[in-house]
């Protein structure tokens, strides 16, 4: 004999899952249920953060090895749609070099998802903007590091290599 409350909860959960799968498509539904690449990164080479007009904040973190993204993660304080898009943006970044990262746009995220609620499409653009900000952060650090390396090399030359 089953409990009416338990039966109600199961039916309600099934209905929510069915409606979400219909709205987000299979890939979006899977990311909604089990987001991949979630979590902050304390040793990120690049970090981007964007807060949308809706109030959702999405942060993306990138680690590079040999000028390619080796690790990518995201965090959000936003809705399920922000989670889906942040997860997918992080996945799309993996293995890419900086030039290839520039091709990851809100449109690209929506294209990969295939189906997404019209009213939540802005989440894809927030995720893409956060990713581009993380790339900008990485590139700025590379410029600073390169300038620092050149300054050190000039200093060593001027000192006759005595250090």
Which residue ranges of the chain lie beneath pLDDT 50? Answer: 163
pLDDT value of residue 102:
98
The pLDDT score that the predictor gives to residue 149 is 64
Phi–psi pair at 50, nearest 5 degrees: -135, 135
pLDDT at 156: 60
- Residue 120: the pLDDT is 97
Over residues 21-59, the pLDDT tens digits come to 999 999 999 999 999 999 999 999 999 999 999 999 999
Fill in the DSSP letter of residue 78. Answer: S
Q: Which two tokens stand for residue 118?
A: 């019209």
> Tens digits of per-residue pLDDT, 26-35?
999 999 999 9
- What kind and span of H or E run contains 61? strand 57-65
With b for 16 or more beta-carbon neighbours within 10 A and e for fewer, the 3-42 pattern comes to eeeeeeeeeeeeeeeeebbebbbebbbebbeebebeeebe
- Look at residue 146 in the predicted model and tell me its pLDDT: 72
pLDDT of residue 1: 55
Q: What is the pLDDT of residue 145?
A: 78
pLDDT, position 48: 98
* Domain ranges across the chain: 4-155
CATH no., domain 4-155: 3.90.1010.10
């Amino acid at each position: 004999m089953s409990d009416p409350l338990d039966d109600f909860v199961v039916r309600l959960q099934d209905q929510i899952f069915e409606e979400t799968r219909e709205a987000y498509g299979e890939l979006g539904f899977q990311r909604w249920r089990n987001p991949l690449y979630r979590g902050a990164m304390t040793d990120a080479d690049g970090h981007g953060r964007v807060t949308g007009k809706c109030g959702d904040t999405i942060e993306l973190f990138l680690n590079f090895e040999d000028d390619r993204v080796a690790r990518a993660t995201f965090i959000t304080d936003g809705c399920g749609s922000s989670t889906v898009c942040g997860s997918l943006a992080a996945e799309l970044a993996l293995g890419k070099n900086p030039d290839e990262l520039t091709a990851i746009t809100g449109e690209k995220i929506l294209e990969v998802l295939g189906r997404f609620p019209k009213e939540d499409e802005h989440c894809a653009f927030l995720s893409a903007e956060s990713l581009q900000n993380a790339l900008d952060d990485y590139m700025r650090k590379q410029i600073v590091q390169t300038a620092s390396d050149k300054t050190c090399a000039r200093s060593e030359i001027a000192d006759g290599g005595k250090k």
